Amino acid sequence: MNAASFYGQAPKHLVAVDCIIFGFDEGKLKLLVMKRKLAPMAGEWSLVGGFVQEEESTDDAAARVLKLTTGLENIYMDQLHCYGEVHRDTGARVISVAYYALIRIKDHDRPLAQEHGAHWLELHEIPGLIFDHNRMINDALVQLRNNAHFHPIGFELLPEKFTLSQLRSLYEEIYQKTLDKRNFRKKILSLDVMEKLEEKDKTSSKKGAHLYRFDPARYEVLMRKGLVFEI
């Protein structure tokens, strides 16, 4: 007996995924948005998303949408919330599962705007989006800040090698506030989860600033020993 025999009288709804994709570039936290191609509201600004296919989990659907848009796989992505208000989508009864992802913008060289009409915008540039997508962004920012406070997810947005100034700028963007330079340096170095490299970044001065690299293996060891990651 197939599923239709059991649930034939149950109402049918569409299920979608929407991806809040954060990136960090030139000292700014950015969000990927695109011009919607489908009616209703074709041509309006939207998050990146799509419908869940018949033989696909919501996680798989979000990963597929992300790969189609950015070309990237196996990156940090977390389920955010299920949005199921009855009239949230003007086209039909659609329940959306939202995910947020963190990517290094420079890790891909695909022409997003040309292929998908997608654009990286700074947080203060985000326009009014379709349906409840602005609410999704606000919820994702809250979740991002909560997670960044207790987990090293910020390193997912940085290049492999980075300066302490770049790291501080990232957390200032995430929290949308200025962090004390000396206190931040003392705190992050005390966690002992980064490797200091001999290389220096000399783009801003002749003396240069030391480059660092996050050490995930060391982080895991310290976590098992009771490390509390908190920034």
Domain assignment of residue 189, given as a range: 158-224
* CB contact at 8 A, 48 and 118: yes
Q: How many domains does the chain have?
A: 2
User: Residue 98, Cβ neighbours under 10 Å: how many?
Assistant: 26
**Res 38: pLDDT:** 87
Residue 205 has pLDDT above 90, yes or no: no
Residue 105: pLDDT band with limits 50, 70, 90: confident
Residue 4 lies in a domain: no
Rounded-to-integer distance, Cα 70 and Cα 148, Å:
23
Residues 68 and 182 in one domain: no
Apex 128 CA angle, 127 and 134, nearest 5 = 105
**Res 117: pLDDT:** 72
Neighbouring C-alpha atoms within 13 Å toward the C-beta of 22: 32
Q: Which residues contact 32 (CB under 8 A, 6 or more apart)?
A: 21, 22, 23, 48, 69, 70, 112, 118, 119, 120
Residues 209 and 132 in one domain: no
Amino acid at 211: L
Residues 112 and 164 in one domain: no
Site of tokens 């050490």: 215
Q: Of 150, 169, 194, at which residue does a domain stop?
A: 150
Residue 75: pLDDT band with limits 50, 70, 90: confident
Residues 66 and 139 in one domain: yes
Residue 114: pLDDT band with limits 50, 70, 90: low
What average pLDDT score do residues 42-55 get? Answer: 94
**Res 12: pLDDT:** 87
Query: Highest-confidence range of 90-104, 116-130, 198-212, by mean pLDDT?
Result: 90-104
Residue 9: pLDDT band with limits 50, 70, 90: confident
**Res 208: pLDDT:** 83
Average pLDDT of the chain, as a whole number: 90
Q: Which residues contact 122 (CB under 8 A, 6 or more apart)?
A: 28, 29, 30, 31
Residue 40: is the preceding peptide bond cis (ω within 30°)? yes
CATH number of the domain bearing residue 172: 1.10.10.10
Q: Which residues contact 200 (CB under 8 A, 6 or more apart)?
A: 207, 208, 209, 210, 211
210, two tokens = 């030391």
Question: In the chain, what are the helix, strand and coil shares in percent, each to the nearest 5?
Answer: 35, 30, 35
What average pLDDT score do residues 56-74 get? Answer: 89
pLDDT tens per residue across span 16-38: 999 999 999 889 999 999 999 88
Q: Of 150, 182, 201, at which residue does a domain stop?
A: 150
